Amino acid sequence: MPLLSTRAFLSTMSHPATKTRLRGVVFDMDGTLTVPVIDFPAMYRAVLGDDEYRRIKAQSPSGIDILNHIERWPPHQQRQAYDTIAHFEREGLHRLQIMPGASDLCRLLDSKKIRRGLITRNSKSAVDLFHERFGITFSPALSREFRPYKPDPTPLLHICSLWEIQPNEVIMVGDSLKDDVVCGRQAGAFTCLLDQTGRYGSPEYADVGFKPDFKVTSLAEVFSVLELNFDLSP
């Protein structure tokens, strides 16, 4: 399916011939359900060093997979790297804010009896804090303690198995091409990219291997995309 912005979708797909049944939505957390607060470039530089960060960034313009990268390191270096990552994440938790539109979107999904799951590369403690602070629960909610993590499709396939539904009845919503979109597409699910700033429209992302089925600039747009593209009947 071609990539569609909400605007393009409204103008070209107002009357789809057959709508696919949607039975579940799986969300990313950081930058999707929560406002971005972690300075990822600073974190990557702290873990990798400036020279290595620039080298890897040049080779991977769509983003750095820091967790998979450090898994190749010796155990003592891995511990140091995870400690650094945990420091940045703890700092981020102090400023944790729910993304505008997240609560309303969840209520609309609940009204249609559409299941809500979560896959994040953040820690379980961050997921627990999100559930506690904002009173919105996702089940299952898989953190990086579940291996392998995104962009491997295993977490999403695991959720589909628990829900006893097919991947093509699910959509993955996230703000990362390299993690969320790749995970969803490899699992056989639909994908929706949250691109608030329009950065994924820049030339450096023109030739990426996986593109989303839909692209939105806010969570407030997601339900309209789902309602017009899919059968949302309970």
Q: Which residues are catalytic?
A: 28, 30
Identify which of 59, 54, 3, 63 has the alpha carbon closest to the alpha carbon of residue 31.
63
Identify which of 27, 19, 1 has the alpha carbon closest to the alpha carbon of residue 159.
27
Amino acid at 17: A
Amino acid at 109: L
Cα angle value 158/163/29 (rounded, 5°):
65
Write out the E strands in 28-164. Answer: 115-119, 141-142
Tokens 């989303």 map to which residue? 212
Cα angle value 207/211/213 (rounded, 5°):
150
